[in-house]
Chains A and B, each alone.
Chain A
Amino acid sequence: MKRKRQGGEYRRLLENLRAVARSEEKDWAEEDWRRALRRATIGKQEELRPEWRRRPAWAWAYALVIAILLGAAAVASRSFFRAAWPTLTAEVEPARTGGPAPAGGGAGLAAQDQLSVTFVSVESGLRVYWYFDKEFDWKEEKL
């Protein structure tokens, strides 16, 4: 009910506003209009191109240089970080049988008394095994 009343009110308001809007229309002075047309038709016609195509050539050149620099920086930083932190994966597992004897020459230790950590380099395939005995003394083996 309230909605209907508001709708009716707005319709009346709109009618009043439109009536006023129509009555306040103003026309050009003839001389101004002719001048405006003359000025408008002096220029040449062109296609309406999208905004991005209207950029000048130097803007495209700058964008290209910046893209190349960013690319080079990305490649350089990638090799730097690879060198500083080589990609390694590590697995912790019970020591392999037949592995080297733990530090301190503890021959005869059962496999469950040893722990091995294997590092594998993704790039070179190099495997590094660390063996720990119960005292956490370690020995290293590279394959």
Chain B
Amino acid sequence: MDERESRLVELVLQGDNDAFGPLVTPYRKALLTMAYRLCHNWEDAGELSQETLLRTFRYLRSYDPRRSFRNWIFQILVNVWRSSGKSRPDGDALREWAAANPAEGPEEEHARSEIRSQLMECLDGLSRREREVFLLRDIEEMSILETAQALGISPLSVRVRLSLARKKIRERAQEKFPHLLEDRR
């Protein structure tokens, strides 16, 4: 946690609610996007993020400043997601996502949109626990220890789930989207 964040946390804890905005604003995009990757639905992602902000404020007193504030928020988000049951890794979610992100305009945008839907399909092959680990470790690039802390599990469990998740994703990509395994540069 940097000095600026420490100061803002102190201010919020002293009752200055206006300091909460600057404290969480750097993570607003990451929060919403992560919520969306977990639940595959922008509407639910908004609700999850809202609830996460609420809990972040409510439990700020119990925040350990030695930890990364970003990881702490992600931990709250995952807990909110787990308790909400907003998980729809199914064809409906994909169709909804495709409708909300129409591929229009240049060919490049179309290609990118294709890959996005393939990414979602790869994630759909994962169980809830594997997806959490994969997103935090491989997409958000957290360390094994940070991922374990965020999910409240042991580093060994992270390694086991991550290994399963990677295997499934690789197999799915090999089977359906072999071009994703090629070097695109």
Contacts and interface: CB of A to CB of B under 8 A. Distances in A.
Contacts of A25: 29-30, 33
Interface in B141-185: 141, 166, 169-170, 173-174, 180-184
B13 to A, nearest CB: 7
B170 A9 contact: yes
A26 B36 contact: yes
Contacts of B46: 28, 32
B53 A16 contact: no
A44 B59 CA distance: 9
Contacts, number: 101
A10 interface: yes
Interface residues of B, number: 45
Interface in B12-44: 12-13, 17, 20-21, 24, 28-30, 32-33, 36-37, 42
Contacts of B21: 37
Contacts of B57: 40-41, 43, 45
Interface residues of A, number: 31
A12 interface: yes
B167 to A, nearest CB: 9
A6 B174 CA distance: 11
A44 B58 contact: yes
A48 interface: yes
Contacts of A32: 46
A24 B37 CA distance: 10
Contacts of A15: 184
Interface of B: 12-13, 17, 20-21, 24, 28-30, 32-33, 36-37, 42, 46, 49-50, 53-54, 56-62, 101, 112, 115-116, 119, 122, 138-139, 141, 166, 169-170, 173-174, 180-184
8 contacts: A13-B173, A16-B180, A18-B138, A21-B37, A28-B32, A37-B21, A45-B58, A45-B60
Given A12-B183, A28-B28, A43-B54, 16 more contacts: A10-B166, A10-B170, A12-B182, A13-B170, A17-B180, A20-B112, A23-B112, A27-B32, A28-B32, A36-B49, A37-B21, A37-B53, A40-B54, A41-B17, A45-B13, A47-B59
Interface of A: 6, 9-10, 12-18, 20-21, 23-28, 32-33, 36-37, 39-41, 43-48
